[in-house]
Structure formats: C-alpha cells, structure tokens
C-alpha cells in the first residue's frame, strides 16, 4: 500500500462486517449481474471506509492498492499538468468507481481522488481483485463493461468541451440534476460549491457567473446553492443535452 493510501485513523472509519459489505456490493450497479457466489468472493477482499471531507483517497502516479466504489458522498478526480496546475476531470457520485482501467492493466493511476464531502466507499483490495478476475468470467464482463462506460463518459466530456458553450454545459449539468425528467419546472440544490462546478465545467469562476446570468433569460433562477428551473423544455432546447446512458450507446 502506497503512502497516500495508508489509512489515517483520524479521518477514516472502517467497517468489515461481512453482511454489510455483501449487501453494499449487491446494490452496486457495477456488480448488478453477478451471482451470490461471486459477490461472496468479492466480500472477502472488500471493506467499507468512511472518510471526512477533503480526504485524499489516492494520488496520480501511484499503483492502485484498492478499487474504490462510492456508496455515499462524492469524490472529485483531478490530474496535474506539467506546469503544476491541476484540472478536475470528473465528479464521481454514488455507484461510480475510481481508476478501474489502470488497476486492471497494473499501471500507475492517471488521476488523484479527493472526497468533496464526507463519503462512504467500498474498498476492494487490488491484488485480490486481479486474482478473482483470472477465475470469474462474469466479473471480467462486469468490469470491462464499467470500463467501457467510463471511456464513453470521457468521450462525451471531450465532445462537450469542444462543441458546447459554457452556458450550454451549465444547462446540461443542471438538467442532469433534475430528478423528474418529465416535469417542466423543478427546484434543485447544487451538490457541490461553485468553485468546483467551474472546474468541472472547465471555465473560470467569472465565466460561470456569466453563464448563470445567460441562463436567467431561459428561466433559471439561482439563490446561492438553490436553483429553480422554471422552463425545462426551453432550457433543454437551448443546452441540447445528450441522451442519458442506457447501456445501448445509441
């Protein structure tokens, strides 16, 4: 286990109760198609860790000691450029995993991950997982599928950055937060602060403010972290979000 992945007891609480671990594995989307026998084998090499806000789970350049899957809370992944600046690559929400491609390929991590709120995670021991992969074909299928979905999410983000304005990207993001895709108005709360939102969207904070101002004419009302979308159909026509991922990649 590398230095940054050593668990500091002040910031981390571990749960190893096998029933709890098994139940958490079972409700993880990544493992939805696995039968109980494979889940039981995974449970033996897994534990649940709870971390405080700002805890660094792993750092770019390290070999992966664990596969992390978010149960509750949120992580921000980031990568550092040669000049020392770093970009937020993605915000990982419950169900998402960190660093699967490099773990499977036994390469160092391309990104760092930090908890942006208190979070609970499944931590699956990397060596044990690689040993299981050699024996359980349904596990390989599940992991390769997750990898392809992560790959596709990055392809979408590249397209998003190349094709959409900041205001359109913000509009797509706000629409993605709307729980009811059929309603025409909704009140939401931003799940993280505007500084991180600007970094995730790839703009400066002043550009994010301008983007919120541009969306006001489309019925987007903001009060701090509270956002009301008054006319979802109009916002959708403007931002043109991608179809949600349904495993069909149409």
- Min dist CB 214 to its own copies, Å, is 17
Q: Which is nearer to its own copies, 11 or 101 (CB)?
A: 101
Q: Which is nearer to its own copies, 83 or 182 (CB)?
A: 83
Q: How many whole angstroms separate alpha carbon 237 and alpha carbon 229?
A: 13
Q: How many whole angstroms separate alpha carbon 129 and alpha carbon 132?
A: 5
Q: Which is nearer to its own copies, 72 or 245 (CB)?
A: 245
- Min dist CB 249 to its own copies, Å, is 4
Note the residues at the interface with its own copies (CB under 8 A). 60-61, 79, 81-83, 85-89, 101-102, 104-105, 107-111, 134, 137, 141, 144-145, 147-152, 154-164, 199, 202, 240-243, 247-250
- Maximum pairwise Cα distance, the chain: 57
- Min dist CB 155 to its own copies, Å, is 5
Q: Which is nearer to its own copies, 155 or 225 (CB)?
A: 155
Residue whose C-alpha is closest to residue 97's, from 42, 178, 175: 42
Q: Which is nearer to its own copies, 37 or 248 (CB)?
A: 248
Q: Are strands 56-58 and 66-72 parallel, antiparallel or unpaired?
A: unpaired
For 95-122, the DSSP string reads T-EE-HHHHHHT---SSEEEESS-EEEE
- Min dist CB 242 to its own copies, Å, is 5
- Min dist CB 15 to its own copies, Å, is 30
Interacting residues of 56 by C-beta distance below 8 A, sequence separation 6+: 4, 112, 113, 114
């Amino acid at each position: 286990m590398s230095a940054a992945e050593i668990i500091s007891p002040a910031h981390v609480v571990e749960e190893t109760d096998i029933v709890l671990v098994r139940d958490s594995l079972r409700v993880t989307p990544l493992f939805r198609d696995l039968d109980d026998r494979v889940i039981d084998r995974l449970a033996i090499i897994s534990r649940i860790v709870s971390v405080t806000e700002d805890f660094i789970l792993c750092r770019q350049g390290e070999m992966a000691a664990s596969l992390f899957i978010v149960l509750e809370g949120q992580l921000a992944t980031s990568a550092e450029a040669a000049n020392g600046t770093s970009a937020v690559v993605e915000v990982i929400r419950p169900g998402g995993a960190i660093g699967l491609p490099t773990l499977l390929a036994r390469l160092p991590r391309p990104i760092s991950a930090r908890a942006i709120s208190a979070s609970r995670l499944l931590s699956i021991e990397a060596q044990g997982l690689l040993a299981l992969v050699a024996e359980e074909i349904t596990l390989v299928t599940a992991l390769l599928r997750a990898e392809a979905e992560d790959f596709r999410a990055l392809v979408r983000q590249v397209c998003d950055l190349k094709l959409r304005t900041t205001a359109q990207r913000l509009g797509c993001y706000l629409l993605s937060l709307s729980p009811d895709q059929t309603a025409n108005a909704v009140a939401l709360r931003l799940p993280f602060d505007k500084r991180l939102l600007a970094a995730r969207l790839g703009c400066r904070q002043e550009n994010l403010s301008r983007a919120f101002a541009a969306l006001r004419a489309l019925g987007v009302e903001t009060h701090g972290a509270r956002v009301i979308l008054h006319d979802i159909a109009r916002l959708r026509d403007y931002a043109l979000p991608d179809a949600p991922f349904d495993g069909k990649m149409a």
